[in-house]
Structure 1
Amino acid sequence: MNKYSFVARMPDRPGALHRAAEIVKSYSGNIIRIQYDRRIDPATVFFEVAATPETYSRMKDELHAIGYLQESLPTLGFLKFSVYLPHEPGSLFELLTEITGAGANIAYIDFDDRRCDPGRVTISLNVEETAVVNDLLDRLKSRYRLEILEYDTTGEHLDDTVFYVRFAQAVRGVIGTTEDAFLLSFLQDVNHIVQELNSLGQDPRDVFESILLTGRTLKNTTGDSFYADVQRISLTNDVEVFCFQMPGGGNIFLLRAPDETVMIDTGYGIYHEDAVRMFQHYGLGGPEEIRRIYITHADADHCGAGGFFDAEAYTHTGSLEIIRRANRAYGSRSESSILEEVYTTIINLFSQFTPP
């Protein structure tokens, strides 16, 4: 039997998870990992199953047929608005009927008729289709006094309870347009970290916001926003060393001698083009001038641009193995931690990791 993974997007009703497990069982599949936490995402469930290729295909077909199989990551929109209801029985029910009829999903609602504005109801919606939103707003405007507080179609202001979709859209913003199939596979890795963080009593949302901040910082310090602190030291009459301290972390050292230029550490891959322009600005020539590269260790900010240079690269065999295994903790006591492995994957993705 082979191991397969899939993401289920299930309705928030009793028995939904049982139904998915029943389908897996009906095709002699064995669930070997499952993770669900409604505190951060009430509808997304991650499965790993052992099954034969034939039975897994049939299993997926049935999950797809009932709408449980998540195969795409649509860009969700966010709408927050207030309406003023008449003070009469059934008015809130009629409003909710309008929203439900439009196929919108309520993420937040606030209503209390004892307040100074007793008829005011504030509602947030997560929606997949802007046409649905526009139609709903037109219908509400025809019946109620309406105030639109926020309307975002980029997915940047989604409610925290759609964590995985929100994170996937944030990743798209950092690395550019990405196929849904890749992101769904990537979310499986992310979910492993969520599971581990929960077991450690940490809030995954805080951790991933910090990781996203790293990705955004790298992206936002390239091109016209790139900068570096530079130190230039003469070692002899003929030999100089340049130290370039990069904005997102990591240093690049260039040792220039009359017959060659040697690089020690390369910086992040995402800074490669900016670094080359910087070298030329300081009279160090183009990348073809660099004959040898020495890598001190295998972190992305030290070797992540090595593959862009046509030069011989040297590093410790242990560092080479870390690069090959894509796990920054390889050889350490935390090597088996899924946190280290997936964190390495994410940082390498954000930093355009291209080792020698």
Structure 2
Amino acid sequence: MPDTPGSLHRAAEIITKYEGNINRIQFDRRIDPGTVFYEVTASDASYRKITEELRSIGYLQTSLKSLDFLKFCVYLPNQVGALHEFLKFTTEAGANIAFIDFDDKGRHPDRLTVSLNLEQSAIVDRLLDTLKSRYRLDIIEYDKTGKHLDDTVFYVRFAQAVRDLIGESGDEFLLSFLAGTNHIAQELMDRGCNPHQVFESVLATGQTMRATSGEHFYADVQQFRLTDTLSVFCFQPPCGGSLFIIDTPTERVMIDTCYGIYHPDVMTMLSHYGLGDTSRISRIIVTHADADHCGASGFFSSPVFMHRATREIIRTNNRAYGSRSEESVLEAFYTRMVNLFSKFHVPDNVRCFLEPSGDVRGIFPVIDTFRAGDLELEVLDGLGGHTCGQVFLYSKDHGLIFAADSVINFASMTKERADYSSLAAFLVTSVNVDSDRAKQERIALMALAEETDKALASSGRRCLICGGHGVVSVMEKGKLAAYGEIERYAAGKNT
């Protein structure tokens, strides 16, 4: 929309004329002076008339054309009408002037510096040919990537950055993604947040994943030999949740899978540790529906076991499904965004845990059991604090608690991992859909760990707490303490 008085009123007038109800409007000159977001409820017939009339006056944006950025100096004659004559050429070319600077009393009294945003086409070449034939011209910068576009076309620049992360996508999809990003920016601005930090955090989420995959992938690795025939591996990737492998002579069980974007790197890493034969994976157990814990599950042919609520979260693409936060704009967009950037691969072979049997461990109902060699794991139903459907795995005899994201040794996380995790905390304000229940879960799990430690004391063994992030830990004086040796895997070699 033109940045002129009455533009907002004119659009609202057209929407009202055809009985559309405006549910949301957002405009902030600090973000983009020419873009306004409306969400409108209307009948199909009214919607067609509204969009037709908005399109006829040039208000409706239905595409996201890539732009070139051109910065140059032109030397104008010192005469009446020289600037007017020059601007005629830029106007005819359809150029949007982002910056212009001229002062005949400055150091360069005959030099005009101009930055232009132009739609990518032969127009750029034609404009330059026209200007070169009339003026002395120095090209300072010509960028076709969108990296140097200024904030007068903020959403175009943002869309190009998103395209860079996910590859070419249709305009309809990108416009929908921009509307979602704008909506969470509006929500967080109402809470006092800087809108530019919102957009930067969205991009940083995807950019960090991409920057830590491929040749830049690494992981911190722990291995625990519990018996002669039973080993547990913990792999901490650069971003997101840990992946665990329970290794026995007859089968392997995978607990959580990391992001989908890391899958090729994870498979190379597992091969390095002698765990690359996926045919030996009898089952994959998913603790909860966040992409960093199950986003690669669809790459495996093994059956994937999960809670029914976890399956519904994946289906609805909303991590707050089934919680008191289910209608949260922040949660819904964050799920959609992180699933997109992380290349979430939905599994086909899904099997759900059973219903509660009546048995409990502390405050948690036991909803299933699994065996891997001589290891028996109980599946404990969580309270829905971090997400609905999050489960925990427990073995009293072997002293194991897979605590998912309810118990995390934050002190063990590197700055890079902590910085990445803070992006999610900022964008959804809390990574837990119900903070009160999340606190209950954490207290109960740590109490269960201490109880198990006491039961194992005579054998000299400890209860290992395998959190969803950070290192495998044990309880020491009521706090989590890193346990065992940690090695770094990087670029196909461990150090």
TM-score (norm 1): 0.89
Q: Aligned-pair RMSD on alpha carbons?
A: 2.2
**C-alpha separation in 1, matches of 2:326 and 2:152:** 31
Amino acid at match of 2:162: V
> 337-346 vs 119-128, which deviates more?
337-346
For the structure 1 residues 95 and 177, does the alpha-carbon distance in structure 2 shift closer, same or farther, using more than 3 Å as the test?
same
**C-alpha separation in 2, matches of 1:231 and 1:167:** 40
Amino acid at match of 1:291: S
Partner of 1:7: none
Following superposition, the deviation at residue 51 of structure 1 comes to: 1.4
**C-alpha separation in 1, matches of 2:277 and 2:90:** 60
Amino acid at match of 2:269: M
For the structure 1 residues 149 and 70, does the alpha-carbon distance in structure 2 shift closer, same or farther, using more than 3 Å as the test?
same
Partner of 1:168: 159
Q: 1:61 aligns with which of 38, 45, 52?
A: 52
Q: 2:18 aligns with which of 24, 27, 31?
A: 27
Partner of 2:148: 157
SS in 1 for 2:203: helix
Partner of 1:5: none
**C-alpha separation in 1, matches of 2:122 and 2:9:** 34
For residues 98-117 of structure 1, what are the structure 2 equivalents within 5 Å? Answer: 98-117=89-108
Partner of 2:277: 286
> 174-183 vs 61-70, which deviates more?
61-70
Partner of 2:129: 138
Partner of 1:204: 195
Q: Is the 8 A contact 2:268 2:276 kept in 1?
A: no
Measured against aligned partners, the alpha-carbon deviations of 1:228-285 in whole angstroms (never above 9, x if no partner) come to 3333332222222222221233211111101110111110011122222322232213
> 288-297 vs 223-232, which deviates more?
223-232
Following superposition, the deviation at residue 160 of structure 1 comes to: 2.0
Q: Is the 8 A contact 2:185 2:199 kept in 1?
A: no
Partner of 2:261: 270
Following superposition, the deviation at residue 319 of structure 1 comes to: 4.4
Measured against aligned partners, the alpha-carbon deviations of 1:183-241 in whole angstroms (never above 9, x if no partner) come to 11112211111211322232222222222122122223333443333333322222222
* 2:214 pairs with 1:223: yes
Measured against aligned partners, the alpha-carbon deviations of 1:39-75 in whole angstroms (never above 9, x if no partner) come to 2112212111121111211222222233222111111
TM-score (norm 2): 0.65
Question: Is there any run of 5+ residues in structure 1 with no aligned partner, and where?
Answer: 1-9
Larger Rg: 2
**C-alpha separation in 1, matches of 2:128 and 2:174:** 32
Q: 2:204 aligns with which of 213, 236, 245?
A: 213
> 322-331 vs 52-61, which deviates more?
322-331
Partner of 1:47: 38
* 2:223 pairs with 1:257: no
* 2:175 pairs with 1:184: yes
Amino acid at match of 2:32: D
**C-alpha separation in 2, matches of 1:248 and 1:36:** 34
**C-alpha separation in 2, matches of 1:324 and 1:106:** 45
Q: Is the 8 A contact 2:159 2:174 kept in 1?
A: yes
Task: Give identity over the alignment, percent.
Answer: 61
**C-alpha separation in 1, matches of 2:43 and 2:325:** 33
**C-alpha separation in 2, matches of 1:74 and 1:189:** 19
Q: Is the 8 A contact 1:276 1:286 kept in 2?
A: no
Amino acid at match of 2:78: H
**C-alpha separation in 2, matches of 1:11 and 1:292:** 57
Partner of 1:306: 297
Measured against aligned partners, the alpha-carbon deviations of 1:280-314 in whole angstroms (never above 9, x if no partner) come to 23221333321122223332211211222233333
**C-alpha separation in 2, matches of 1:23 and 1:70:** 16
Following superposition, the deviation at residue 346 of structure 1 comes to: 0.9
Q: 2:74 aligns with which of 70, 73, 83?
A: 83
Question: Is there any run of 5+ residues in structure 2 with no aligned partner, and where?
Answer: 348-495
SS in 2 for 1:272: helix
Q: Is the 8 A contact 1:130 1:153 kept in 2?
A: no
Q: Is the 8 A contact 1:288 1:309 kept in 2?
A: no
Following superposition, the deviation at residue 339 of structure 1 comes to: 2.1
